[in-house]
Chain A
Amino acid sequence: TQLLEQSPQFLSIQEGENLTVYCNSSSVFSSLQWYRQEPGEGPVLLVTVVTGGEVKKLKRLTFQFGDARKDSSLHITAAQPGDTGLYLCAGEFWSGGSNYKLTFGKGTLLTVNP
């Protein structure tokens, strides 16, 4: 079983602060996805990283995939109350034949206070 450990589990910060969320595993993944989930809704994809060492930027969000494709980080610059939500990482791995499976971390609940 491929496990993804996310940290921290909870994060409460003030508007304007920077933060980093981590997603770590002992397994190698084909790709890693980051989702954000708001209360009462399903998760929505933010980004997919595929290549070891890859860095992707989405406005104030920066995503990095580790060189060995076992870990990833999400950095938010100058957080805003609208960034509040549950951030989930999901690693995709080959499970045999033409099958790929997606396994999710337990999430980081971010609260940005005005």
Chain B
Amino acid sequence: NAGVTQTPKFQVLKTGQSMTLQCAQDMNHEYMSWYRQDPGMGLRLIHYSVGAGITDQGEVPNGYNVSRSTTEDFPLRLLSAAPSQTSVYFCASRPGLAFYEQYFGPGTRLTVT
């Protein structure tokens, strides 16, 4: 049982490049989320999904796309990277809403130059 896995661990992009951050969980959780963490800003919700085929925007969705074709996978796509997207990105999953623990992946540290 690997929990929540994220790849890559580190990534450097040039402005304008696109890429996909991968996230997978093997706990059969319905609810998955993407957060970004910046110094002094805490964790901010980018996008979330309440099940396969269902996604919605969080607090800071601009510049990011998501899809959820399976319960296990929830990739985050950066369409055209900008320096403002330099951050640490965390994927998380929960078995349900209301009182359930959120399980986080180890994070991806992204630098956009």
Contact = CB atoms under 8 A, between A and B. Distances in A.
Interface of A: 1, 9, 30-31, 33, 40-45, 48, 50, 88, 90, 92, 98-107
A98 B97 contact: yes
B90 interface: yes
B102 A45 contact: yes
Interface of B: 4, 35, 40-45, 50, 59, 90, 92, 97-99, 101-102, 104-107
Given A31-B98, A102-B45, 12 more contacts: A30-B98, A33-B101, A40-B106, A41-B106, A42-B104, A42-B105, A43-B90, A92-B99, A98-B97, A99-B50, A102-B102, A107-B42
Question: Most A CB atoms within 10 A — which of B41, B42, B59, B98?
Answer: B42
A42 B42 contact: no
Nearest to B98: A100
Contacts of A40: 106-107
10 contacts: A1-B59, A9-B40, A30-B98, A30-B99, A42-B106, A48-B99, A48-B101, A90-B43, A92-B99, A101-B45
Contacts of B43: 43, 88, 90, 104
Contact of B101 (A45, A50, A105, A106): A45
Which of B41, B50, B102 gathers the greatest number of chain A CB atoms within 10 Å? Answer: B102
A88 B90 contact: no
Nearest to A31: B99
B97 A100 contact: yes
